[in-house]
Amino acid sequence: MPQTVLAAAGVFAGTNVDDLIVLTVLFLAARASGRPAPWHIWLGQYAGIAALVAVSALAALGLTLVPDEWVGLLGLVPIALGVRGLIGAFRSGGDGDDPPVAAGNALAVAGVTMANGADNIAVYTPMFRTLGAGGSAVAVLVFAVLIAVWCAAASWLGSHRRIIELVRRYGHWLVPLVFIAIGLVILLGSGVLTRLF
């Protein structure tokens, strides 16, 4: 169980570093203009992550057609996302676009969270598949706790403009590297590489 909790926490942190930036910007906007209201940000974040988890769980159920010994190959998906992100960071010189702030209510915040979460589905799906029902339930509980941590941290960060600039500057490199690490953990932990070679 402690391994599942740590793995779920690592996966959540790795797939939501970019979300922390978006949340921080939303809390900055809430302080500056009053929109969205802080409770809209919290509710929208929970709703958006819940939708991503539901889609990932359904996709993991669909993977039951794939033999267990080959499921580890899905680790290639976050690796590919990470490599693509690194290539994009190199091409742009590490400067990315600002995260979207077109969110005035909880539904809009949920939409931003889901739009920002294609990578979450790619990583959560093989994780849920390999953890099984019990481990996946633990992971979802860990995610629920960490959403609150993320919102609280973003609210705090949203009051410090220097911190958001620092996260914005290095997030373009950090997120792809975390995806690559997650993919390698899935590949190596599944033992699929030893079956291939």
Tokens coding 59: 């996709």
Token pair of 24 as six digits = 């921080």
C-alpha distances in Å from residue 155, one per residue of 12, 28, 49, 168, 179: 18, 8, 18, 16, 25
Tell me the residue range of the domain where 140 lies: 2-190
Question: Which tokens is 16 given?
Answer: 């939501």
Q: Is residue 30 part of a domain?
A: yes
Sign of CA dihedral 190, 194, 195, 197: positive
How many domains are contained in the chain?
1
Residue 195 lies in a domain: no
Q: Give the pLDDT score at 69.
A: 62
Position 146 in a domain: yes
Q: pLDDT value at position 103?
A: 52
pLDDT for the residue 95? 55
Per the domain annotation, does 197 fall within a domain?
Answer: no
Report the C-alpha gap between 161 and 40 in whole angstroms.
Answer: 21
Nearest CA among 101, 107, 100 for reference residue 47: 107
pLDDT of residue 99: 42
Q: Is 151 exposed, middle or buried (0-12, 13-18, 19+ CB in 10 A)?
A: buried
Q: Are 110 and 52 contacting, i.e. CB atoms less than 8 angstroms apart?
A: no
What does the longest C-alpha to C-alpha distance in the chain come to? 58
- Distance from C-alpha of 185 to C-alpha of 107, rounded to nearest angstrom: 34
For residue 196, being part of any structural domain is answered with no
- CA–CA gap between residue 55 and residue 47 (Å, rounded): 12
pLDDT by residue for the chain (197 residues), tens only, comes to 788 899 889 889 888 887 887 788 778 777 766 778 889 999 999 998 998 899 888 888 876 555 656 666 767 766 887 788 788 878 877 555 444 344 568 887 787 777 667 678 878 888 888 888 898 999 999 999 999 999 999 999 878 767 666 656 776 676 677 668 767 876 777 777 777 77
Q: Residue 111 falls within a domain, yes or no?
A: yes
Per-residue pLDDT at 31: 75
User: Helices 161-190 and 118-157 meet at what angle, rounded to 10?
Assistant: 150
pLDDT on residue 127:
86
Question: Please, is 184 exposed, middle or buried when counting C-beta atoms within 10 Å of its C-beta (0-12, 13-18, 19+)?
Answer: middle
Q: Omega of the bond prior to 36 within 30 degrees of 0, cis?
A: yes
CB 19 within 8 A of CB 128: no
Query: pTM for the whole thing?
Result: 0.66
